[in-house]
């Protein structure tokens, strides 16, 4: 306990101490964060070039749709199509040379759902486009660590139009 | 620094003994830890596990800072001091400490070790990059210097600890620098005085043990340090390095086998000589390890032949036959004679 | 070191494999070219190997790497090109030489080992037995680099 003679100035001292603590605390805080700010700036510029690359899990509703111009979508160098098991990617796309043969490597066929998610994780594209209703499966929780954005869409036609 | 018994009884309070100071410190550390834990919990909630894991050190500094700012800095006792009933006075036990002294103590106690660590790291980094393009010897010397700086700091801490055990005055370096001493907050009864005297003696015994320990740790260091110094003096005074090197070599080799004949003087069996070991057929006279004609052909326990040097070198790496992977200890390799 | 010179001479005699020191006067760094084995997704592609020889060679294995971000393979770290192969680590024997090492890596392309993955996703695909996805993904990575 402080000696009785100092009691009058105790409240002043408390105020002084508190102010000092806060000041030191904030400076320290700012110092640590200063190094991180640079990282944040980097991230900000990255997101401004919004979702440059896309990974699209094609499901039946999309693959059946006559409106989607696969050739145009695949011409984009930053797009990958993943075809899950039991989905038929329109044969017509291959047959009539609608899809340029040099783009066919961007279509990845999978025999298992685990394979689909492993491909998504490996590719690490900015945006993952899928229709989880159509897929009949939920997106694994850890996928968010491998893509910047997940677009879970009901109607893939509308989204895929933007890709062009 | 012993409590002044004669005139102290009436007006001045007794200087606190080592035991109480240690006890107060333990209590304070305990409370700082609790505070640290709570702060970490809070930050984990707010910023996530990763943040708290990365900033463990910073969080502990902040919690110490908060604790001491709310107690010592504004002139109050910490819980530990309250617990053993001691409080802070100035160096000469003539009055309370000034505010700036308390501030110096709080900052030194919380940020001091952290800053010293950063400084050493910075120094190392700067030196590491600076000496990078110099010759190897220089960078080795720089390494030795860094090691010795760390040991010097450790040595200082140990000396400080020793002083505390013998004198019982300052528990931390920051307290010594800012001149914060402790007195007991009440008059001592005679039995209490006796007990404290006994305690002080125990601490002195502990101190002696510590002294012995530090001597045993720092003596060899001192020795190598002086040797290095001698070496430096030798090189700078123009004498050839070989002299001092031989000095060091002689020391190092004490206890090892001497009088081993020089390699060039001993007799070698070389299979490039066709008359040597005629029973070894033409197509197996080369060692598969060095791809040359075998020198001193030696037999592994499994029967495979290699040069003595090749197979013993490999056995130092891994104790199996390179060809069939059967166990082949170096002591089981037999040179052909 | 004399052993490396001997190896260099024997390799020179064989023309069918591309394995050569980066400069003729320094045998500590070598380069090798391997071709993708037929009937694998690597078919039709060539891969460069960087080999550096430790001082203790042949008692220590050579250090071999692919070019970074060039080899999608279960036992290769895609980002660094680091290779996980037993004979490059604990199973090394001084009887092996550089040529054998390079041939072993070439063999690794057609016989990936799912037990020691350095490429986690490809490892999952292998364990799941999804060969279609494995091959398509490898082809995607190889084609993308062109």
If one compares A102 and B136, the residue with the highest pLDDT of the two is A102
Q: Which residues of B touch C6 (CB under 8 A)?
A: 290-292
CB B180 within 8 A of CB B101: yes
- DSSP code string of C83-113: B--GGGTTT--TT--HHHHHHHHHHHHHS--
Is the model's pLDDT at A51 over the cut of 80?
A: no
- Residue span(s) of chain B under CATH 3.30.40.10 come to 265-335
Nearest residue to B228 via CA among B107, B125, B144:
B144
Neighbours of chain B (3+ CB pairs under 8 A): A, C
The per-residue pLDDT for A35 is 55
Per-residue pLDDT, A37: 52
Q: Choosing among C126, C136, C143, which should be mutated to test the A contact, i.e. which has the most A CBs within 10 A?
A: C136
* pLDDT score, position B33: 92
8 Å CB contact of B314 and C3: no
Does residue A161 register a pLDDT over 70?
A: no
- The per-residue pLDDT for range A122-136, each reduced to its tens digit, is 888 888 888 888 777
Q: Across the interface, do A17 and B62 touch by the CB < 8 Å criterion?
A: no
Inter-chain residue contact A110 with C143, CB threshold 8 Å: no
Q: What is the predicted pLDDT for the residue at B37? A: 92
A72 vs B309, residue with greater confidence: B309
- Pick the more confident residue, B127 or C9: C9
Binned at pLDDT 50, 70 and 90, residue A47 comes out as: very low
Residue A3, min C-alpha distance to chain B (Å)? 9
Write out chain C residues lying below 8 Å of B302, CB-based. Answer: none
Report pLDDT digits (tens) over B53-96.
888 888 888 888 888 888 888 878 888 888 888 888 877 777 77
CB of B40 within 8 A of CB of B66? no
- Whole-number pLDDT of residue B251: 47
Query: Is residue C25 over pLDDT 60?
Result: yes
Residues of A in contact with B66 (CB under 8 A): 21, 25
pLDDT number for residue B180: 80
Q: How confident is the model at residue B249 (pLDDT cuts 50, 70, 90)?
A: very low
Domains and CATH numbers, chain C: 2-144 (3.10.110.10)
C-beta separation of C47 from C56 below 8 A: no
In the predicted structure, residue C96 carries a pLDDT above the cut 50: yes
Listed residue (A135, A108, A136) closest to A122, CA to CA: A108
B61, B73, B77 ranked by CB distance to A17: nearest: B73
Q: B interface mutation test: which of C4, C7, C87, C93 has the most B CBs within 10 A?
A: C93
Do C137 and A119 lie within an 8 Å CB cutoff?
A: yes
**Chain C residues touching residue A111 (CB < 8 angstroms):** 129-133
Cβ atoms of C78 and C66 within 8 Å: the answer is no
Residue B210: predicted pLDDT: 86
pLDDT at residue C76, rounded to an integer: 92
What does the alpha-carbon distance between residue B160 and residue B170 come to, in Å, rounded to a whole number?
8
The answer to whether C47 and C29 have CB atoms below 8 angstroms apart is no
Q: Per-residue pLDDT averaged across B19-31, rounded? A: 88
Query: Residue B78: exposed, middle, or buried by beta-carbon count in 10 A (0-12, 13-18, 19+)?
Result: buried
User: Is the CB of A115 less than 8 angstroms away from the CB of C143?
Assistant: no
Catalytic residues of C: 84
Chain-chain contact of C139 with A122 (C-beta, under 8 angstroms): no
Provide the pLDDT for residue B255: 57
How many A×C Cβ pairs under 8 Å?
56
pLDDT beyond 50 at B234? yes
Contacting residues of C for A114, CB less than 8 Å apart: 124, 128, 130
Q: Taking CB atoms and an 8 Å limit, are A24 and B65 in contact across chains?
A: yes
Distance from C-alpha of B333 to C-alpha of B311, rounded to nearest angstrom: 8
Identify which of A35-39, B87-91, B221-225, C87-91 has the greatest average pLDDT: C87-91
Least confident of A2-6, B82-86, C17-21, C110-114: A2-6
**Chain C residue with Cα closest to A109:** C133
Interface residue of C1, C3, C27, C59 to substitute, partner B, most B CBs within 10 Å: C59
Which subunits sit against C, judged by 3+ Cβ pairs under 8 A?
A, B
Q: Which of B62, B82, B96 has the CB atom closest to A28's CB atom?
A: B62
Task: Kindly tell me if the per-residue pLDDT of B243 is higher than 50.
Answer: no
Q: How confident is the prediction for chain A on average, in pLDDT?
A: 74
Average pLDDT rounded to a whole number, residues A82-99: 72
User: Is C137 an 8 Å CB contact of chain A?
Assistant: yes
Q: Tell whether omega for the bond before C58 is within 30 degrees of 0, i.e. cis.
A: yes
Provide ipTM, 2 decimals.
0.79
- Look over chain C and give the mean of its residue pLDDT values, rounded to a whole number: 86
C56 vs B: CB within 8 A? yes
Pick the CATH number of B265-335 from 3.40.50.300, 1.10.10.350, 3.40.50.720, 3.30.40.10: 3.30.40.10
Whether chain C has a CB inside 8 Å of the CB on A80: the answer is: yes
């Amino acid at each position: 306990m402080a000696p009785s003679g100092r009691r009058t100035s105790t409240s002043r001292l408390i105020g002084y101490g508190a102010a000092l603590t806060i000041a030191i605390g904030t400076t320290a805080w700012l110092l640590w964060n200063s190094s991180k700010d640079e990282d944040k700036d980097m991230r900000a510029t990255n997101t401004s070039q919004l979702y440059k690359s896309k990974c699209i899990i094609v499901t039946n509703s999309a693959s059946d749709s006559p409106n989607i111009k696969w050739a145009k979508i695949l011409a984009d160098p930053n797009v990958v199509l993943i075809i899950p098991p039991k989905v038929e990617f329109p044969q017509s796309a291959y047959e009539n040379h609608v899809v340029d043969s040099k783009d066919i490597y961007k279509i990845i066929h999978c025999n298992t759902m685990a394979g689909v998610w492993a491909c998504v994780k490996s590719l690490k594209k900015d945006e993952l486009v899928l229709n989880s209703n159509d897929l009949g499966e939920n997106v694994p929780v850890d996928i968010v660590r491998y893509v910047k954005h997940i677009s879970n869409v009901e109607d893939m036609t509308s989204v895929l139009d933007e890709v062009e | 620094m012993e409590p002044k018994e004669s005139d102290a009884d009436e007006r001045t309070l007794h200087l606190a003994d080592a035991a109480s100071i240690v006890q107060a410190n333990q209590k304070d550390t305990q409370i700082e830890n609790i505070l640290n834990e709570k702060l970490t919990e809070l930050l984990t909630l707010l910023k996530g596990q990763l943040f708290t894991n990365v900033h463990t050190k910073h969080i502990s500094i902040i919690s110490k800072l908060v604790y001491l700012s709310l107690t010592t800095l504004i002139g109050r006792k910490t819980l530990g001091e309250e617990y053993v009933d001691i409080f802070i006075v100035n160096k000469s036990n003539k009055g309370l400490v000034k505010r700036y002294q308390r501030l110096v103590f709080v900052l030194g106690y919380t940020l001091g070790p952290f800053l010293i660590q950063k400084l050493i790291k910075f120094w190392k980094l700067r030196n590491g990059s600076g000496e990078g393009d110099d010759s190897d010897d220089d960078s080795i010397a720089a390494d030795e210097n860094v090691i010795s700086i760390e040991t010097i700091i450790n040595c200082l801490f140990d000396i400080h600890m020793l002083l505390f055990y013998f004198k019982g005055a300052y528990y931390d370096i920051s307290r010594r620098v800012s001149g914060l001493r402790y007195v007991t907050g009440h008059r001592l009864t005679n039995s209490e005085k006796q007990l404290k005297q006994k305690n002080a003696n125990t601490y002195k015994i502990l101190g002696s043990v510590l002294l012995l320990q530090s001597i045993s740790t720092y003596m060899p260091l001192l020795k190598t340090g002086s040797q290095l110094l001698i070496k430096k003096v030798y090189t700078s005074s123009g004498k050839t390095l070989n002299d001092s090197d031989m000095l060091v070599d002689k020391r190092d080799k004490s206890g090892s086998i001497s009088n081993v004949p020089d390699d060039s003087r001993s007799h070698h069996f070389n299979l490039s000589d066709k008359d040597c070991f005629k029973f070894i057929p033409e197509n197996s006279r080369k060692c598969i390890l060095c791809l040359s004609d075998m020198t001193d052909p030696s037999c592994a326990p499994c029967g495979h032949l290699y040069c003595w040097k090749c197979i013993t070198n490999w056995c130092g790496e891994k104790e199996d036959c390179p060809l069939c992977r059967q166990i082949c200890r170096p002591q089981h390799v037999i040179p052909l004679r | 070191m004399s052993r490396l010179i001997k190896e260099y001479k024997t390799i020179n005699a064989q023309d069918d494999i591309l394995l050569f020191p980066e400069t003729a006067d320094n045998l500590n760094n070598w380069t090798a070219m391997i071709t993708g084995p037929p009937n694998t997704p690597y078919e039709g592609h060539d891969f460069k190997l960087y080999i550096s020889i430790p001082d203790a060679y042949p008692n220590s294995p050579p250090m071999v790497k692919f070019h970074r971000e060039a080899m999608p393979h279960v036992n290769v770290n895609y980002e660094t090109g680091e290779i996980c192969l037993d004979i490059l680590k604990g199973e090394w024997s001084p009887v092996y030489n550089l040529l054998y090492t390079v041939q072993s890596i070439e063999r690794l392309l057609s016989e990936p080992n799912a037990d020691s993955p350095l490429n986690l996703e490809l490892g999952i695909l292998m364990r799941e037995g999804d060969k279609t996805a494995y091959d398509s993904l490898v082809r995607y990575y190889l084609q993308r680099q062109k």
